Amino acid sequence: MAILDPTMRIRTFDEVTLGYTSDQAKREAARCRGCSQAPCRRGCPIGVDIPGFISLVKEGKFREAAQRLRERNTLPAVCGRVCPQDRNCEKHCVLAKKGAPIAIGRLERFVADWEREHGMTVPPTPGSTGKRVAVVGSGPAGLTVAAALARKGHSVTVFEALHAPGGVLSYGIPQFRLPKEVVAAEIDYVCALGVKIELNTPIGKLYSLRDLRREYDAVFLGTGAGLPRLLGIPGEHLNGVYTANEFLTRVNLMKAYLFPEYATPVRVGKRVAVIGGGNVAVDAARVAVRLGAEEVVVLYRRTLVEMPVRAEEYRFACREGVFFRFLVAPLEFRGDAEGWVREVLCTRCELGEVDESGRRRPVPVPGSEFTIPIDTVIVAIGQEPNILALAEVSELLTPSGRFVGADPETGATPVPGVFAGGDLVTGAATVIQAMTAGRRAAKAIDRYLSELE
Amino acid sequence: MINFPVVGKTELAPGIKKLVVEAPSLAAKAKPGQFVVLHLHAQGERIPLTIADFDREEGTITLIFQEVGLTTFQLGSLEPGDTIRDIAGPLGRPSRVDYFGKVLCVGGGVGCAPLYPIARALREQKNDLAAVVGARSREFLILRKEMEQVCSPLIIATDDGSEGLQGTVLRGVEKYFREYGKPDYCVCIGPPVMMEAVCSFTRNYKVKTVVSLNPIMVDGTGMCGACRVVVGGEVKFACVDGPEFDGHLVDWELFRRRLQFYKREEKLALGAFLRKSRSAGER
């Protein structure tokens, strides 16, 4: 698959990977052995019929392939781009043992892009059941629930607090990894199924959960993990220190990279330090490169092995000049007289015992402190659910008060008719995990509605 | 919902404008002290603006703002019939409206706009209400009549002495304390320097003083953390934990400094806008 050259791409926000041509896709699909056991499918959290759609690609039946994908996946153009295939489907491919698994993600993307370019066909929806469902949050979980329930003939309204739908797909993942036109087309498809999206509607503020329960037969909560975690170290509020959420929202949702044509500014200095090791940290680092930073360093307190990043994006970041320093943790940010961050005091770490996350815990090495001169910091150490909007219904929350408690199989909460799924329940995870939760909840909601009378 | 129609416009003072906007669901839920986030058009930025008033029957909200940056100038150029693409709200926690006894409301400049609905609500709770309002000069005083209806006395201070006392609102606050004794509760909204000054004065008298903070925000729903402030040593997000805080506990230096984050870019964007509108005007 063609890839934009690193020297070119660091000057633009254009998509890095260019996708297969029809011939490339057919050729790649022809490598698939169509295993009867389909181990790849077991690696897919939403159980896409992978051998099925690939064999249709092989035959050049792209529209049919798209339909096969959409039976289980509402957002194939998104998943084909952002899923961690290296840890899911492709890891289970029998050819992975030889180091060359079928490029399932790229094929998925090809099919979804082909469909978008050739006109999407929206399947007819059954007659209305007369049941009304409110979905709170228009991210991957909410869109999945909405599409699945609309296909069953329920009337679905999605409530979004921001001025654009998509949740993390719009504000979090950068244009060069997930073009917003692609997101918009996937959302158009969901709307074509009959789903209504109400923008600028913060639930808990404009309408309460109580209002929704009165107006709708069932409610799904999928508000994600939008609350940025902070380090809690000195100097974190100096000017020049961003949370990744602020930095990425400015750039992705508000298009600050087009300032002043777009009115939202973003400020990046010559030397940027990103704190963290996940996809968000790597996205932020690559955005900083594109905004003109001369040196971008990612400081991660563990090692590459523990880094929860999509493998391809790590490789791309390295090619784009992002520098990774492992086993390093910040202790303090220091500023100048005007309150702008100027350096970060760090400590080296070594890996100790395995912690509750299943990874070896980083332990600071005494006496190993050193400083790095920087003028911008992006803190990307994770997000937690923003449960403030839901605080009115305390029985929804887990004992810690930080998450919404829901049955992982059905999304059912202790409140009848209220379901939840995605990052709001699990804490920050992947797009595909949120979609899986959405798929399960949609089934349970459909069952719940059919039993209502 | 998108595309909120502007139905009324008044210039209250030079550069201070009032827009009445049709937003029925917002008007139905808004409470004193809350704010909205505006996004004027697809290329616009998101800015927070306190709800200056709301009319549940008419289904409208009122916005009062001073033209200081790109977005407020663009907002000021809207006329009845125009629309605002996005208005999200009502955001933030409502003002605490209880019976406190003797209450002093302190407003500086355009800060009188969010202060008025709070004052009115406090009056409805039978508080004994007085106010000090200040402005650069007489022509910049806003909502004077409205404030007079709910507050007595209404002490006025202007920087140039063209109305009332000469000096900052602090002069007025000192006068109030001298002549009427210390109040039980104080609400203070205005420029950061003024709020800080009033708070250091009331702290000496141990008069609980609530301020409304308007830091830089992007989403306004607790997501970006741009609006973080330190209050009593703890990190708070003004958008969801505020906008009102105990003014005696606010880290004012940090608050003022963080407002400077984008000064350079803000100047650039405003300059480009003003040049463009000037050349359009000449044509």
The last residue of a domain, from among A381, A404, A435: A381
Interface with chain B: mutation pick from A199, A237, A250, highest number of B CBs within 10 Å: A237
A372 and A392 fall within a common domain: no
Whether A247 is in a domain gets the answer yes
Contact A264 B71 (CB under 8 A): no
Q: pLDDT class for A125, splitting at 50, 70, 90?
A: confident
| Positive/negative CA dihedral, B273, A294, A341, A301 | positive
Same domain? A111 vs A143: no
pLDDT of residue A308: 86
Given the structure tokens 């106010």, which residue do they identify? B131
DSSP state string for B140-158: G--SHHHHHHH-SSEEEEE
Q: What is the pLDDT of residues A307-361, one digit of tens each?
A: 988 888 999 999 999 999 999 999 999 999 999 999 999 999 999 998 887 888 9
Tell me the count of A-B CB pairs closer than 8 A.
123
Mean pLDDT in each 10-residue stretch from start to end of chain B (283 residues)? 94 95 96 96 95 95 94 95 96 95 96 94 95 95 92 94 93 95 96 96 96 95 94 95 96 95 90 84 61
Tell me, yes or no, whether A165 and A304 share the same domain.
Answer: no
Residue ending a domain, choose from A83, A118, A153: A118
Nearest to B235 among A201, A230, A264 (CB): A230
In which band, very low, low, confident or very high, does the pLDDT at A222 lie, cut at 50, 70 and 90? very high
Nearest to B225 among A163, A245, A255 (CB): A245
pLDDT of residue A7: 85
Indicate the pairing of strand A132-136 with strand B234-237: unpaired
Report how far residue A103's alpha carbon sits from residue A312's, in angstroms, rounded to the nearest whole number. 12
One domain for residues A199 and A236: no
pLDDT of residue A82: 93
Say yes or no for a CB contact (<8 Å) between A237 and B224: no
Q: A392 falls in which pLDDT band (50, 70, 90)?
A: low
Is A125 in contact with A192 (CB distance < 8 Å)? no
Residues A303 and A446 in one domain: no
Site from A163, A207, A267 to mutate, B interface, most B CB atoms within 10 angstroms: A163
- What pLDDT, on the 0 to 100 scale, is given for residue B1? 85
Nearest to B268 among A228, A243, A260 (CB): A260
Residue A221 lies in a domain: yes
Residues A314 and A413 in one domain: no
Residue of A nearest to B42 (CA): A262
| Chain B residues within an 8 Å CB radius of A339 | 254, 257, 260
Task: Say yes or no for a CB contact (<8 Å) between B269 and A228.
Answer: no
Whether residue A395 is contained in a domain is answered as yes
Burial string for A257-285 (b: 16+ CB within 10 Å, else e) reads bebbebbbbbbbbebbbbbbbbbbbbbbb
Q: How far A394 CA lies from chain B's nearest CA (Å)?
A: 17
Tokens of A327: 């086993």
Q: Which residues contact A151 (CB under 8 A, 6 or more apart)?
A: A123, A125, A126, A193
CATH number, domain at A200? 3.50.50.60
Q: Who among A198, A239, A249 is closest to B219 (CB)?
A: A249
User: How many independent structural domains does chain A possess?
Assistant: 3
Q: Does any domain span residue A93?
A: yes
**Residue at A430 is within a domain:** yes
Q: Give residues with Cβ within 8 angstroms of B101, minimum separation 6.
A: B127, B128, B183, B184, B185
Cα–Cα distances in Å, from B168 out to A28, A108, B136, B138, B175?
75, 66, 8, 13, 12
Tell me the C-alpha distance between A9 and A17, whole Å: 10
**Dist. CA A358–CA A35, nearest whole Å:** 32
Q: Is residue A391 part of a domain?
A: yes
CB contact under 8 A, A205 and B44: no
Based on the fold, state whether residues A247 and A312 are members of the same structural domain.
yes
Residues of B in contact with A388 (CB under 8 A): 222, 240
Report the DSSP pairing between strands B228-231 and B154-158. unpaired
User: Can you give the pLDDT at residue A401?
Assistant: 80
| A137 in the same domain as A52 | no
Q: C-alpha distances in angstroms, B4 versus A395, B43, B71? A: 36, 17, 16
The answer on A209 and A314 residing in a single domain is no
Interval A43-57: pLDDT, tens: 999 999 999 999 999
Give the distance from CA B223 to its chain's centroid: 22
Q: Is A256 in the same domain as A370?
A: yes
Q: What pLDDT does residue A356 have?
A: 83
The model's pLDDT over B175-213, given as tens digits with 9 standing for 90+, comes to 999 999 999 999 999 999 999 999 999 999 999 999 999
Nearest chain A residue (CA) to B219: A162
Looking at the fold, whether A63 and A75 belong to one and the same domain comes out as: yes
**Average pLDDT across chain A, whole number:** 93
Which chain B residues are Cβ-neighbours of A246 within 8 angstroms? 218, 224-226
Distance CA A102, CA A30 (A): 9
Is A323 part of a structural domain of the chain? yes
Percent helix, strand and coil across chain A, each to the nearest 5: 40, 20, 40
Amino acid in position A329: A
Q: Which of A179-193, A415-429, B95-109, B239-253 has the lowest mean pLDDT?
A: A415-429
Contact state of A206 with B90 under an 8 Å Cβ cutoff: yes
Is B153 an 8 Å CB contact of chain A?
A: no
Please give the pLDDT value at position A453.
Answer: 67
Q: What is the pTM of this model?
A: 0.95
DSSP characters over A361-402? EEEEPTT--EEEE-SEEEE-S-EE--GGGGTT-GGGB-TTSS
The residue among A357, A381, A405 that closes a domain is: A381
At residue A404, the 3 state secondary structure works out as strand
Contact across the interface for A239 and B221, Cβ inside 8 Å: no
Given a contact cutoff of 8 angstroms between Cβ atoms, the answer to whether A422 and A400 are in contact is: no
* Contact criterion met (CB < 8 Å) for A239 and B261: yes
Arithmetic mean of pLDDT, A195-211? 94
Among B46, B257, B266, select the one facing A339 at the smallest CB separation. Answer: B257
Q: Is B257 on the interface with A (CB under 8 A)?
A: yes
**Which candidate from A246, A259, A388 shows the least CB-CB separation from B218?**
A246
Residues of A in contact with B225 (CB under 8 A): 228, 230, 243, 245-246
Does the CB of B3 have a partner CB in chain A at under 8 Å?
no
Whether residues A252 and A366 share a domain: the answer is yes
B272 to chain A, any CB pair closer than 8 A? The answer is yes
Judge residue B204's burial from the number of C-beta atoms within 10 Å of its C-beta, 0-12 exposed, 13-18 middle, 19 or more buried.
exposed
Question: Domain holding A51: CATH number?
Answer: 1.10.1060.10
B233 touches chain A (CB under 8 A): no
What mean pLDDT do residues A256-265 have? 94
Q: How confident is the model over A288-299, as pLDDT tens digits? A: 999 999 999 999
Chain A hits for B221, Cβ within 8 Å: 161-162, 202, 226, 386, 389
Alpha carbon of A81: minimum distance to chain B alpha carbons (Å):
24
Q: Answer whether residue A11 is part of any domain.
A: yes
What is the biggest distance separating any 2 CA atoms in chain A, rounded to whole angstroms?
A: 70
What residue numbers bound the domain in which A83 lies?
2-118
Per cent of chain A over pLDDT 70 is: 98
Which residue on chain B is closest to A205 by alpha carbon? B90
